[in-house]
Amino acid sequence: MNSGSIIPVLNLLAAGAEEGHASAGPVAHGPWWVALIVVLPMLGAMLCGAAAALKVRSKLPAFLTVGLLGASCALAVSMYLELAGGRSITVSYRWIDFAWGTGEGQRLVANFGFYIDSLTCLWMLFVTGLATLIALYASEYMSHDQGVGYCRFFAAFNLFVFSMACLVMGDNLLLLYLGWEGVGLCSYLLIGYFYKRPAAVAAAKKAFIVNRIGDLALALGTMLAFVHFGSVEYAVIFAKAQPYIEAIKSGHLDQVPFVVQVIPLLFMVGAFGKSAQLPLYVWLPDAMEGPTPVSALIHAATMVTAGVYLIARTYPIFLCSEYALPVVAWVGALTALLAATIGMAQFDIKRIMAYSTVSQLGYMFAGLAFLSSAGAAYHVFTHAFFKATLFLCCGAVMHGFAGQLDLRKLSGVAFMKGWGIVGLAMLIGCLNLAGVPFTAGFFSKDMILAESFVTMGPGYQVLGWVLLLTAGLTAYYTFRVFFRVFVGPKTFEPGDELHAHDDHGHDAHGHDSRGDAHAEAEHGPAGHAAPGHGHDFHPHAPGWAINLVLLILAAASIAAALPYFMGEHGGWVPKLVHESSATTISDGHGSTAAFLASGLHEPGASAHGTLFGQDPHKIMYYVSGAIGAVGIAIAFVLHYAGRKTAGTSRADALVPALGPVAGWARRKWLVDELYDALVRTPLWVLSHVFHLIDKLLIDGLVNLFGWLPRAAAQRLRPTQGGDLHGYAAGMAVGLGAVLILVWMLIL
């Protein structure tokens, strides 16, 4: 990463800053009711908590949640209609106002205030919308837990939406941090929802602990921002960062203080933790231990995009650093590739979706770093819908087949009676994720891919190829799931959660393949063959709530492509992003032309990257479309064509040819083991060493000091003879000794 290749990037950034964007404009006072978007989910959390205390056994908490979140969503829509495009702050409660002097930076102000611009509106629209829909889905999905954990689930669900709304709408870094920790807490609570299952508890702890690392960095970044900018409020920070951007624009990198360059690096680490990027991604696949609605909402659509939001929101600060965005680019692209390769080798369909989430988040980060904050935001937007669809389809399968998630044990689900809608929604989700032309996922991914070739930066073209390769892998593993589970011969083998016969099914058993051995042991290997075998198991098809939500989400996944055509340069989402603080200029042809015209690039250097000698924006449609098609075709040949049973496919023949690589990929490239060896084991050893030190040295010292007086007392005890004359003689002798001593000292 030599700085010579960075300069053009910064110039490009500088050109972006020139465009008079909204973050430099005046701040208006927003209306009071935007606070309700935050307050309603909190109210829901309290009411669900009360319902839990009253031991409500009906579906009341679910519909309460749907109603309140729906109202919150309606308010978010009206917030978009009224406030998008401008910049307004609503201060609803003066939270922290603490001064210890009158000088600059001696006053900490952090209000319960809401910073509303187009970026906020975009995020709140899909957060509240998806939360409402997924709450409706969960009302049916969680019905087995009615009276057990139903109220607890919805209380945490509401609390999550509250925290997420604080994170997105807060007008200062402190409120963002509150929301950040809040979503982390709710994530922990919901991953560990089936708290009687050790795997779920371990996953919850893992998620929380791994996130600690990122959260520490975010906290440090916030403190540094306060130390340097004298405020944690976005409006102030953006205003004070402006001179640095001006300095970069005029080529004076050295005028940007070191501290300002460190702040985005810290924020970046925070974002990597929450959004599951290298090296902190390991918690997200394990988080699939939580109920599927949670996986869909928190661990696919909303919470994990908080990192993307953080970078987009504080983009002006990121523009001040010459290293932050390149690092984000490399981390994002490598995470995308790594997670995709792991996803290819997994058998648990929910885990595959989890790795695809990690991979897609990598795309978003790469997009941010390629100065395509608009592409990143658009990908967040489309991904939220199609990934929620995919997860909810997996959830429906899991719900209907007693927790079965192994793609070797299910086949032809879409053709079974009552499963048509699930199959259709799954197909739409898969098409989007694979980036098939004219789907939303295709357009949003292409914005990022094209920009990776347009933006001139340190090795960005290499990263573009990495991301293109990943797009092909994504298409393959996505359709591997589809061809194995949803089409082909109709056969299935249920999981081990036979909750039709067992009221506490969810709490007692595992979902994953570990549980299968147990099922086999019970029923014998003979029960594998035909549908409906063995113990009279009949898959129960999803009911109205799940089907309705899947239909709406599938439709929304398709409709998410429409905004691409609403307006120039990528449509509606880029327009929203450019109206906000996250703007850059490099999205779309027009702005790139403006950049060329500005003549800021170095003489002789090509300012506009090309792909096959063409404009990447145009040719990328064909390139990525072709790569996606190849991926799907390979999946078709390996996992569908000629497949007779659920358990075997042509891919099995390929596995030996790969040698140990296939096994490594299945074992997640041994990253968990590596972390075990690098972090956990040394910590374990160290803790035992400290334990020994504590036992021997510290405790030894303390015990010694306890033992000394006791031993002395043992020796001196006989002097306490109980004889009055003995005491008196002692006193007399002592007095005499003192007198002699005094006499000797004085004379």
Partner 1 sequence: MSLLAASSPVWMLAQAAPPAEMGSITLAHYLVVSAVMFCLGVVGFLTRRNLIVMFLCTEMMFQAAGIALVAFSRFHLHHTGQSFVIFVLTVAAAEAAMALALVVLLFRKRESLSAGEWRDLRG
Whole-angstrom distance, CA of residue 90 vs CA of residue 610: 45
Which one of 5-13, 381-389, 635-643, 716-724 is the stretch in contact with partner 1 (CB under 8 A)? Answer: 716-724
Minimum CB–partner distance for residue 734 and partner 1 (Å): 12
Q: Which of 711, 732, 737, 740 touches partner 1 by CB under 8 A? A: 732
Note whether 24 and 241 are within 8 A (CB). Answer: no
Binding mask 690-709 for partner 1 (x = CB under 8 A): --------------------
Q: Which of 723, 743, 746, 747 touches partner 1 by CB under 8 A? A: 723
Specify the residue, 105 or 721, whose C-beta has the smaller distance to partner 1: 721
Q: Which of 81, 722, 743, 746 touches partner 1 by CB under 8 A? A: 722
Minimum CB–partner distance for residue 739 and partner 1 (Å): 11
Q: Which helix (H) or strand (E) holds 410?
A: strand 410-411
Residue 664, Cβ neighbours under 10 Å: how many?
A: 15
Whole-angstrom distance, CA of residue 238 vs CA of residue 517: 57
Q: Which two tokens stand for residue 167?
A: 């994170």
Under the binding rule (CB under 8 A), the answer on residue 26 touching partner 1 is no
Whole-angstrom distance, CA of residue 279 vs CA of residue 284: 12
Q: Is 251 left (phi over 0), alpha (psi -120 to 50) or beta?
A: left
Q: Which of 209, 653, 686, 729 touches partner 1 by CB under 8 A? A: 729
Which residue(s) pair with 93 in the sheet? Answer: 112
- Give the binding-site size for partner 1 (rule: CB under 8 A): 12
Distant-in-sequence, close-in-space partners of 320: CB < 8 Å, separation ≥ 6: 241, 244, 245, 248, 256, 260, 261, 264
Which one of 241-249, 478-486, 652-660, 722-730 is the stretch in contact with partner 1 (CB under 8 A)? Answer: 722-730
Q: Which of 706, 721, 737, 739 touches partner 1 by CB under 8 A? A: 721
Specify the residue, 708 or 713, whose C-beta has the smaller distance to partner 1: 713
Residue 688, Cβ neighbours under 10 Å: how many?
A: 10
Minimum CB–partner distance for residue 718 and partner 1 (Å): 7
Note whether 124 and 37 are within 8 A (CB). Answer: yes
**Interface of this chain with partner 1, residues 124 to 153, rule: CB under 8 A:** none
Minimum CB–partner distance for residue 706 and partner 1 (Å): 19
Under the binding rule (CB under 8 A), the answer on residue 710 touching partner 1 is no
Under the binding rule (CB under 8 A), the answer on residue 747 touching partner 1 is no
Under the binding rule (CB under 8 A), the answer on residue 714 touching partner 1 is no
Closest CA relative to residue 439, chosen from 558, 617, 563: 558
Specify the residue, 517 or 713, whose C-beta has the smaller distance to partner 1: 713
Note whether 370 and 696 are within 8 A (CB). Answer: no
Note whether 320 and 261 are within 8 A (CB). Answer: yes
Distant-in-sequence, close-in-space partners of 275: CB < 8 Å, separation ≥ 6: 304, 305, 306, 307, 308, 361, 364, 365
Which one of 251-259, 353-361, 582-590, 713-721 is the stretch in contact with partner 1 (CB under 8 A)? Answer: 713-721
Under the binding rule (CB under 8 A), the answer on residue 740 touching partner 1 is no
CA within 13 Å, CB half, 223: 6
Minimum CB–partner distance for residue 716 and partner 1 (Å): 8
Minimum CB–partner distance for residue 719 and partner 1 (Å): 8
Under the binding rule (CB under 8 A), the answer on residue 687 touching partner 1 is no
**Amino acid type, 312:** A
Q: Which of 96, 517, 712, 728 touches partner 1 by CB under 8 A? A: 728
Q: Hey, is 103 helix, strand or coil?
A: coil
- Which residues of the chain form contacts with partner 1 (CB under 8 A)? 717-725, 728-729, 732
